[in-house]
Structure 1
Amino acid sequence: MRTQINVKYIDHPEIEEADSILRSCVHCGFCNATCPTYQELGDERDGPRGRIYLVKQLLETGNVSEKTQTHLDRCLTCRSCETTCPSGVKYGRLAEIGRGIMEEQLERPLQQKLLRWLIRKVLPYAHRFGFLLRLGQSVRPILPSSLKATVPTRQNKLPMPIQQHSRQMLVLAGCAQPSATPNTNIIAARVLDKLGISLFTAPKAGCCGAVSYHMSAHEEGLAFMRRNIDAWWPYIESGVEAIVISASGCGSMVKDYGEKLQYDPAYATKAKRVSELTRDLGEILVKEDLSRLQLQDKGRKTAVHCPCSLQHAQQLGGLVERILQQAGVELTPTKDKHLCCGSAGTYSILQPKLSQQLLTNKLADLTIGYPEQIVTANIGCQLHLSSRSSVPVKHWIELLDPQ
């Protein structure tokens, strides 16, 4: 694709990268075939190829309209198009750059600005989110059914195992997970403890930065990333083996720290090292001897939902299925595995109508084999699916709990 970048962007630090991505697109349209929003809406501008043209138009003319904003906002950034693209177009990165420039140039309506500001000031902060979640849980019995479904029931927190192994790994606690599903990382620690690995958190680490960055508050997102790097760096210098992420959405962001901070001279090298050390929980377990877990209960018939952040962003589709099959769990068939469930970080809040339609589709696809439970690898997907699923939805690590 030929481009002629507007002179006003020549000094933008990311413009050369954006131009390179645009030029790699041969506008074949294969991406539209696997784009959830294009499949739902049938509008070229709501597919990757159309959105690439919209970003190209923005960077060439220097102008952006509300229509452009609408179509870019509807993008899930699921990156299914990247898995499909024969030319290797880094669409997700282009969308981030385009949205960031768009956000600087086009003022949003007050209601949108307020909602986006509230999300950014609550969700990335575990204590703030936890307080509001506990408040919602306390009044859950009297909430209307539509609201009640969005508030997860409170879980009794399990004890953390006492770990004293030579193999040491960090784990990211995250934002929503410590309050909404506090046992996910505890069970992960139990499993790894049985395999001779100690799992622990860095107290000063927090949100991975995805919430802010994906809402085009790039500097805010980068600040979260720098804070995590500072929190992890002493452990990295002492020889920690890996940074384990049990939420695939966070994992895909932390694996991109090197890319996001490549223009920061103070953090570029450290960020690259952090990304190199980052592993999804499944990447750790797939290399271990799971027979050592001695599971007594293989569980019930299970459908696996593979989050977009795991299969498209991290290119680890099928990983969870392999681990569970190795452990002896009976998996049921599903279809259209490449399509998003509609959670997509804050998408379910900002685009509720489209999100709910995608959720309807996904639940239908996951239950064709009549599973007794659904498992996934991302807290956002887990909560979103749970809001309307007729069967329990869990993190897949729960099936491997040796206790």
Structure 2
Amino acid sequence: MHFKKQLAAVAVVAAVGLVATGCSGGGTSSSGPVELTVWTGFTGGDAPGYEQIVKDFNASQKHITVTMSAEPWDTIQQKLPSAWMTGQGPDIAAPSSDPNVIAQYVKTKSVLPITLTGDGDAKINSSEFAPALVDEFTYDKKLYAVPANFATLSLYYNKKLFTAAGVTPPKTVAELQDAAKKLTKNGTYGLVLADNNTIQMWPVLQWLSGGDIVDQKNCSVLSTSAGRDSLQPWVDLVSKDKISPVGLTGAEADALFSAGKAAMEINGPWAAPGYKKAGIDLGIVTVPVDVDGKPVTLGSTAPLAISAKTKHPQEAQQFLAYWTGKTAQKKFSLSTGFPSLRTDLTDDPELKADPVVSVFSSQAPTSRLYLPQVPNATQVDSDAYVPMIGSLTRGTSLNDGADTATKKIDELTGCSAK
């Protein structure tokens, strides 16, 4: 299931109950442990991995008890800003599956700067995180969140369909495009591509074809020759060659692959358990190299932050130290297939031997975050990029679609280019 719209319900509580929950999870009695509450949107196949971290932390000591609740991401995004502004809600939360959302909470002074950093198990070892993850959550030289996870996208394929079509897993962009066309037949789609309510895969397609969304000045490059050239072949594959239905959500794309109606899908490690459970003869390989022969894929993370008004800032940071610690992260990787967010686990023998973890981990060094710290990145995606892809695949001319998106992106980012 896709990271942005995972649908399986786990530990769901009523939305109204989220707002009513007081910050610090009900306080502390004189004889009992400190009680911390956590909200997350992790409701997919990887949810048991997060739940295990909480169980293990609670069992590891007697001074802090953590209770974690899971809700759909959109519910959290609607309720959390006002809850934290008024001192309500949880002590800790994953505010969104979009890491850029932390910027909004920093502006409203709703998140606590993290200070319990350093070496050793009792501290948050931020120096051991993948550098891009630290950069993503650092504002004015202060760290305001830790990565709740780290994932890369890989290419899932249906071995049965590949064998029947005489196709081998693609290793280059040209081979991927050719395979997508060859595998589109008899009611089966070659490569299902979601364009909304999903982890972003269209930027990966652009990167593979030599394009991008914005430049270093945060100005749109969609209307440049490189931008148009990176979009056109994929738009044609969808609109003319019908390799994928138009306008799919992440959940809809997943359902097609799970039903054996799609030969390929680009997705994260959270999807593997569901596909295996569906009985798919599953293959997972790295995303093909780009037009220059270099590997690239999307790197994805969700933030885990502390309310600025928590009554227990020290204990909350201690929990984040455990969550991101070496022991918890290794166990989480082995149970979920996620690569580790820690660089000191890169060469761990057990992780390298795991067939799922190894594929996703191998792409971590060359993965790219989507719109990292681009001003108003969330709106750039929802108000410009996603609508553009939807309009292009439905027949809007590339020039018109790219120009409209470029104008909107430049307004949102404050692009200073003339």
TM-score scaled by length of structure 2: 0.30
TM-score scaled by length of structure 1: 0.31
Greater share of strand residues, 1 or 2?
2
Greater share of helix residues, 1 or 2?
1
